[in-house]
Amino acid sequence: MRTLFCFVAVLLSGCGGLDAVYGDQFDLADAVPIDRETGKPLLDAQGRNAGLEAPGPRTSGLRTSTEVWNVYRRWYELDAEAGMAWPADSGLTWDQKYSAWVDAMEKIVGDDGTMTVQLITPLGQTVPSPRLECAEMAMFLRTTFAAWYGLPFFMTAYHPTYGDVHFGHFGVVKPDGSPLPGYPNYKTRYPDESARGVDALDAWPSDYDLAARKLTVLADDYNLWMGDEKYAGAYFDHILLNKRVGHFLHVLLTNFGSMHLAYSENTFDLDPSAMREGDLLVHRWQRQGIGHVMVVKEVDQVDAQHLSAEIVFGSMPRIQPAWYSPDNSRYYFLSEDGGGKEISGDGVPYSQLGGGLKRWRTPVVKGGRWLNIIPVADRPVAIDSNDQEAISARIEQMEALFGELSDEDRLAQLLGAIELARDNLSRKPASCANRTRREEAFDELYTFLENSQGMTRDQVDAQYRTLEDYVYAELEYNAAKTCCWNSTTPDMHTIIMDFNRDRAASAAPNECMDPVVFKARDGDYALFRNYAVATGRADLWRAWSEDETCPQRDVQDDSEANTPWADWCDLPAGQTAQPPVQQDPCGGVTFEGQCDGDQLSWCENDTVNTAQCGAGSCGWDAGQSYYNCL
Which DSSP category does 319 fall into? B
Listed in sequence order, the residues at least 6 apart from 455 whose beta carbon sits closer than 8 Å to its beta carbon are 449, 463
Point out the least confidently predicted range of 6-10, 68-72, 494-498.
6-10
What are the pLDDT digits (tens) for 291-311?
899 999 999 988 888 999 999
194, pLDDT greater than 70: yes
Residue 611 has pLDDT above 50, yes or no: no
Report pLDDT for 576: 67
Buried b (16+ CB within 10 A) or exposed e, 194-218: beeeeeeeeeeeebebbbebbbbbb
The dihedral of CA 249, 255, 259, 263: what is its sign?
Answer: negative
Look at residue 58 and tell me whether its pLDDT is greater than 90.
yes
The predicted pLDDT at position 32 comes to 65
pLDDT at 172 over 70: yes
Alpha helices in 13-80 (DSSP H): 18-22
Give the chain's radius of gyration (CA, Å).
28
Q: Quick check: 41 and 31 in contact, CB under 8 A?
A: yes
More confident residue, 440 or 593: 440
Q: What pLDDT shows up at residue 604?
A: 37
Tell me: the pLDDT tens digits for 125-146?
Answer: 999 999 998 999 999 999 999 9
Averaged pLDDT of the chain: 84
Alpha carbon distance 82, 101 (integer Å): 12
Tell me, what's the pLDDT at 345? 77
Grade residue 440 by pLDDT with cuts at 50, 70 and 90: confident
Is residue 160 over pLDDT 60? yes
- Distance separating alpha carbons of residues 46 and 415, to the nearest angstrom: 38
Looking at the chain, the whole-number percentage of residues with pLDDT higher than 70 is 84
From CA 623, how far away is CA 83, in angstroms rounded? 67
Q: Are 457 and 515 in contact, with CB atoms under 8 Å apart?
A: no
DSSP 34: P
SS3 168: strand
Q: Which residues contact 530 (CB under 8 A, 6 or more apart)?
A: none
Sign of CA dihedral 457, 458, 460, 465: positive
Tell me the average pLDDT across 22-38.
48
Q: Is 13's pLDDT higher than 80? A: no
> Does 471 have pLDDT greater than 70?
yes
Rounded to whole angstroms, how far apart are CA atoms 486 and 9?
12
pLDDT tens by residue, 550-576 = 778 899 999 999 888 999 988 887 766
Measure the N-to-C terminal CA separation of the chain; round to a whole number of Å.
51
The residues that bridge with 8 in the sheet, in sequence order, are: none
H-type helices in 207-317, by residue range? 208-211, 232-239, 243-255, 258-262
The arithmetic mean of pLDDT across residues 326-354, rounded, is 90
The bridge status of strand 267-270 relative to strand 171-173 is unpaired
Residue 546: the pLDDT is: 76
- For the entire predicted model, the pTM comes to 0.79
pLDDT of residue 67: 98
Residue 117 and residue 105 in contact, taking contact as beta carbons nearer than 8 Å: yes
> Who has greater pLDDT, 478 or 371?
371
Helix, coil or strand: residue 189: helix
Ranges 13-17, 161-165, 269-273, 340-344: which has the least confidence: 13-17
* pLDDT value of residue 24: 39
Q: Binning pLDDT at 50, 70 and 90, where does residue 582 land? A: very low
pLDDT on residue 436: 87
Integer Cα distance of 341 and 66 in angstroms: 44
At residue 611, what are phi and psi to the nearest 5 degrees?
-140, 145
| Three-state helix/strand/coil letters over 341-409 | CCECCCCCEHHHCCCEEEEECEEEEECCEEEEECCHHHHHHEECCCCHHHHHCHHHHHHHHHCCCCHHH
The helix (H) or strand (E) run that includes residue 115 is strand 115-120
Given a cut of 50, whether residue 629 has pLDDT beyond it is no
Q: Does the pLDDT value for residue 57 go beyond 70?
A: yes
Q: Does the structure show a pLDDT above 90 at 327?
A: no
Residue type at 523 in one-letter notation = G
pLDDT higher at 223 or 594: 223
CA distance 332 to 243: 36
Identify the pLDDT of residue 393: 96
> Is the pLDDT higher at 122 or at 9?
122
Q: Can you tell me the distance from the alpha carbon of 466 to that of 448, in angstroms, rounded to the nearest whole number? A: 19
Residue 505 confidence (pLDDT): 84
Name the least confident of 360-374, 387-401, 447-461, 605-619.
605-619
- Residue 86: phi and psi, rounded to 5, are -150, 150
Average pLDDT over residues 236-250: 97
Q: How confident is the model at residue 516 (pLDDT cuts 50, 70, 90)?
A: very high
Range among 4-18, 504-518, 595-609 rated most confident: 504-518
